[in-house]
């Protein structure tokens, strides 16, 4: 059967049954894995449109971030930014209230805005992604930043799964930087946790300050992942960043059109 948004079969406003245990795990560890955040039929419907958006970004170059190569010529991954601007169908996925509601509930906030979305495609042979904290590169006046990381294809251990330092989200001093906090996490023997296999539509959520990395892709297929970064509203910019804050100057608040409000508690319609 062919699915269409108009048919009512695809409904990303439907609430996800988020448990208290998952919320507790996220706040304790700085990350959590949730199953079936997007249903199989939803991935089947949306994936071709997301792939088309990535192809358009690659063709025109607008939104394709620089791909980092190592000394042996291996890149880390392909990053296509703001896929939601490529089509109304992809926008309906990125703007899905189900995902944004989960982000708000995990952080314990009433409102969340879209910061940015990335299609992160790691092709066979692409190297590992080094340890980092997202919030080190997102100069905002709030620590309430969260990333949803969702594979669009089944994820095997060889494809490059995510790895987290549990509890490292408490290392939230920008002056320290990734390397300082990585040494601190290692010295403190914080546990490393990975989710080596995931189904398409499963998702991890991690805090902006959680140290994380992703392994190299040693499989024979491309690891297709869509990520959505959310921020609690209101949020004000501390420093200029064309990567994350389109048209927003230091001291200004993130607002539409580039950072739409995706969820507000009490307004479920």
pLDDT for 62 equals: 75
How far apart are alpha carbons 102 and 37 in whole angstroms? Answer: 9
Pick the CATH number of 19-243 from 2.60.40.1930, 1.20.120.50, 2.60.120.620, 3.40.50.2000: 2.60.120.620
Sign, CA dihedral 20-214-35-8, equals positive
How far apart are alpha carbons 119 and 97 in whole angstroms? Answer: 19
Helices (H) and strands (E) in the chain, counts: 5, 11
pLDDT for 94 equals: 98
pLDDT for 7 equals: 41
Q: Calculate the dihedral angle through the C-alpha atoms of 45, 230, 138, 106, rounding to the nearest 10 degrees.
A: -120
pLDDT for 268 equals: 65
Domain locations in the chain as residue ranges: 19-243
Beta strands in the chain (DSSP E): 31-34, 78-81, 111-122, 129-132, 145-151, 162-165, 192-194, 203-207, 212-214, 223-232, 261-264
Listed as ranges, residues in the chain with pLDDT below 70 are 1-8, 66-67, 69-73, 268-269
Sign, CA dihedral 42-43-48-52, equals positive
CB atoms within 10 A of CB 68: 13
CB 44 within 8 A of CB 152: no
């Amino acid at each position: 059967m062919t699915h269409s948004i108009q048919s009512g079969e695809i409904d990303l406003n439907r609430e996800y049954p988020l448990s208290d245990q998952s919320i507790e795990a996220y706040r304790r560890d700085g990350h959590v894995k949730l199953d079936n955040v997007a249903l199989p039929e939803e991935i089947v419907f949306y994936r071709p449109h997301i792939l088309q958006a990535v192809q358009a970004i690659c063709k025109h170059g607008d939104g394709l971030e620089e791909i980092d190569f190592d000394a042996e010529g291996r890149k880390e991954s392909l990053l296509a930014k703001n896929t939601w601007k490529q089509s109304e169908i992809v926008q309906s996925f990125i703007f899905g209230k189900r995902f944004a509601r989960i982000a708000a509930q995990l952080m314990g906030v009433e409102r969340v805005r879209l910061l940015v979305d990335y299609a992160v495609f790691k092709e066979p042979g692409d190297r590992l992604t080094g340890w980092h904290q997202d919030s080190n590169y997102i100069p905002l006046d709030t620590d309430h930043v969260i990333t949803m990381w969702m594979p669009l294809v089944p994820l095997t251990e060889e494809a490059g799964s995510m790895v987290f330092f549990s509890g490292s989200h408490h290392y939230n001093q920008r002056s320290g930087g990734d390397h300082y906090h990585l040494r601190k996490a290692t010295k403190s023997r914080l546990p490393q946790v990975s989710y080596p296999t995931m189904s398409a539509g499963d998702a991890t959520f991690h805090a902006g300050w959680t140290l994380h990395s992703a392994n190299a892709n040693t499989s024979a297929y491309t690891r297709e992942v869509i990520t959505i970064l959310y921020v609690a509203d209101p949020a004000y910019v501390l420093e200029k960043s064309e990567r994350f804050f389109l048209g927003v100057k230091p001291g200004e608040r993130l607002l539409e059109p580039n950072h739409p409000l995706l969820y507000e508690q009490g307004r479920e319609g």
